[in-house]
């Protein structure tokens, strides 16, 4: 039996004049976990979409189990035992787990649909076999993100897939869910399945994969056993240069309280307590990091600080900015005070995909005189400002430069545009960052982290909210642990400096207070 279950030879794919994949040859061993890493735009998702039948290659061949194939659709790929779980789940919240799993492939016998109780029993057996226990009758809309992912994997297994392609599978999982997910992957591998993971998280690649392929600018740079590499080597191959894996910075020099959150409590419309006696302060010239598993009040806190909670009767406590209350102020009023906000979901709250880079760079500033003329925008000023930001923040753009639609950029370059806009607001005093590097590659992460520290060193107060413990530890001068809507523990500057000397132990200590 051929030990390679997948063999790609000379694969190429062009979009217009742009090569997304160029002459890629890759073999994947049967019964292994194979990671594919690369910067945003490196071509890894395109390559896997070709394998899954979503794209047809312009050149090259594909063999599955030694058989030459020519996939024209995902349905064709599924028939050959290939399934794909996308980063953004494709589930219907109002349907049950079982209904979502069999949707579009409802089982029949002699042309008659099998009773659904029997289907649910089959799903229970399948779930137990691979350590994916879940209640088939539960409504998907009531599940956690980690359980939703189980449903997506079971959908693929139900269709008898032997090869699973997982696109950024841990992007929205909690640390505990990630460990449980790794257990699932090992169980699948032991059950004879082959797993292909597309990811940018190098620590996870090293922890779970057997082999790893590195892509850069549409080409395959190397494939090697994971045991023979490390994070620094992978990062260098991805970016083409040495990468700072932990930001270099001098100790902070705080200079007075900018933001003071005092005994804030908030109940949602259902009367559930989301924030409970929450208190912390952020000083000028420091990064105050809030660590926590998502769902512990982060979104409510961000909405409160940005003037989006318009239910004063549900809020108690005080939020002071430079000694003055922020409660009751609109987002525009808050921005005018010198507060910038980088939201946790850039697609929903920070950009408009159909608008140009230049237009996205001045959202919230479109009323400022320097960008206006007698008849609308001062197009020359807008163009020159956009060109300056593109250079300063190393935004990789196409031929249209600032006129390019932001939706055409990679995730990392979209985030650079958002960060450029918010860090360069006039008279900035407080920068609020929520999950600032989610879903972006290591090169963009390095760049954005450097810009955050530059802002801190200019005396700007920075509030960082992140589910990535490594990011919290790398950037923060003080750390507050958020659990069930309140700060369960706060680490001083001295404790954070000491923790950086033994980061793995410190991350475990932080983890104790957030779970």
DSSP letter (8 states) at residue 285 = T
Neighbours of 310 (CB within 10 A): 10
**C-beta separation of 512 from 302 below 8 A:** no
Instruction: For 132-180, give the DSSP string.
Output: ----TTSBGGGS-HHHHHHHHHHHHHHTT-SEEEEESTTTT--HHHHHH
* Per-residue model confidence as pLDDT tens for the chain (515 residues): 568 999 999 999 988 777 889 999 999 999 999 999 988 778 888 899 999 999 999 999 999 999 999 999 998 999 999 998 887 777 888 888 888 888 876 666 655 566 778 888 888 888 888 888 888 888 888 887 778 888 888 888 888 889 999 988 887 676 777 888 898 899 999 989 999 999 878 888 999 999 999 999 899 999 999 999 998 899 889 888 877 767 778 888 888 999 999 999 999 888 889 999 999 999 999 999 999 887 889 989 999 999 988 677 889 999 999 999 999 899 989 999 999 999 888 888 889 989 999 999 988 887 777 787 777 777 888 888 899 999 988 888 877 788 888 988 877 788 899 999 999 888 999 999 998 987 777 878 888 899 999 999 999 999 999 988 888 999 999 999 999 999 999 999 999 989 888 888 888 899 889 87
Q: List Cβ neighbours of 294 (8 Å cut-off, separation of 6 or more).
A: 172, 174, 467
**pLDDT at site 396:** 80
Supply the pLDDT for residue 99: 86
Please give the pLDDT value at position 482: 95
**pLDDT the model gives residue 394:** 85
Cα separation, 22 vs 39, in Å, equals 16
pTM reported for the whole predicted model: 0.76
Say how far apart CA 346 and CA 434 lie, in whole Å. 10
Please name each of the domains of the chain with its CATH number.
Answer: 4-239 (3.40.50.300), 257-514 (3.40.50.300)
C-alpha distances out from residue 77 to 2, 5, 66, 191, 477, Å: 19, 14, 15, 21, 50
| Separation between Cα atoms, residue 457 and residue 251, nearest integer Å | 10
Question: CA of 347: how far to CAs of 23, 41, 66, 344, in Å?
Answer: 33, 17, 41, 9
């Amino acid at each position: 039996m051929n030990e390679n279950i997948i063999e790609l030879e000379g694969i190429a794919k062009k979009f217009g004049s742009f090569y997304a994949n160029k002459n890629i040859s890759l073999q994947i061993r049967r019964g292994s976990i194979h990671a594919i890493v690369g910067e945003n735009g490196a071509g890894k998702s395109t390559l896997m979409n070709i394998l899954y039948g979503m794209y047809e290659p312009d050149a090259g061949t594909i063999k599955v189990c030694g058989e030459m194939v020519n996939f024209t659709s995902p349905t064709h790929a599924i028939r050959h035992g290939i399934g794909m779980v996308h980063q953004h789940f494709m589930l219907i919240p109002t349907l049950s787990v079982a209904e979502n799993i069999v949707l579009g492939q409802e089982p029949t016998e002699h042309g008659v649909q099998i009773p659904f109780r029997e289907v649910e029993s089959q799903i229970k057996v399948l779930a137990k076999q691979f350590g994916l226990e879940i209640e088939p009758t539960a409504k998907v809309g009531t599940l956690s993100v980690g359980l939703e992912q189980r449903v997506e994997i079971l959908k693929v297994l139900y269709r008898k897939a032997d090869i699973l392609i997982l696109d950024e599978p841990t992007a929205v999982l909690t640390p505990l869910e990630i460990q449980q997910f790794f257990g699932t992957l090992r169980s699948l591998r032991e059950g004879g399945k082959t797993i292909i993971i597309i990811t940018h998280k190098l620590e996870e690649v090293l922890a779970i994969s057997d082999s790893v392929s590195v892509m850069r600018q549409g080409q395959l740079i190397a494939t090697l056993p994971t045991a023979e590499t490390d994070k620094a080597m992978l990062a260098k191959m991805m970016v083409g240069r040495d990468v700072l894996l932990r930001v270099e910075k001098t100790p902070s020099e705080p200079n007075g309280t900018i933001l003071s959150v005092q005994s804030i409590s908030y109940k949602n419309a259902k009367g559930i307590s989301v924030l409970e006696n929450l208190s912390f302060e952020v000083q000028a010239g420091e990064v105050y990091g809030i660590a926590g598993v998502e769902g512990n009040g982060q979104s409510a806190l961000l909405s409160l600080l940005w003037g989006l909670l318009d239910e004063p009767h549900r809020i108690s406590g005080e939020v002071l900015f430079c000694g003055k209350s922020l409660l009751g102020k609109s987002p525009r009023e808050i921005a005018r005070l010198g507060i910038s906000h980088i939201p946790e979901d850039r697609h929903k709250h920070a950009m408009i995909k159909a608008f140009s880079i230049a237009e996205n760079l001045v959202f919230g500033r479109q009323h400022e005189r320097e960008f206006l003329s007698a008849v609308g925008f001062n197009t020359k000023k807008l163009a020159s400002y956009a060109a300056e930001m593109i250079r300063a923040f190393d935004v990789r753009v196409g031929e249209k430069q600032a006129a390019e639609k932001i939706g055409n950029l990679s995730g990392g370059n979209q985030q650079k545009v958002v960060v450029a806009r918010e860090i360069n607001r006039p008279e900035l005093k407080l920068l609020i960052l929520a999950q600032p590097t989610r879903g972006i590659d290591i090169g963009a992460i390095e760049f954005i982290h450097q810009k955050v520290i530059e802002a801190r060193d200019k005396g700007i107060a920075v509030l960082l909210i992140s589910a990535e413990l490594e990011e919290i530890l790398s950037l923060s001068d003080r750390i507050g642990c958020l659990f069930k809507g309140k700060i369960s523990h706060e680490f001083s500057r001295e404790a954070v400096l000491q923790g950086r000397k033994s980061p793995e132990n410190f991350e475990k200590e932080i983890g104790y207070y957030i779970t």
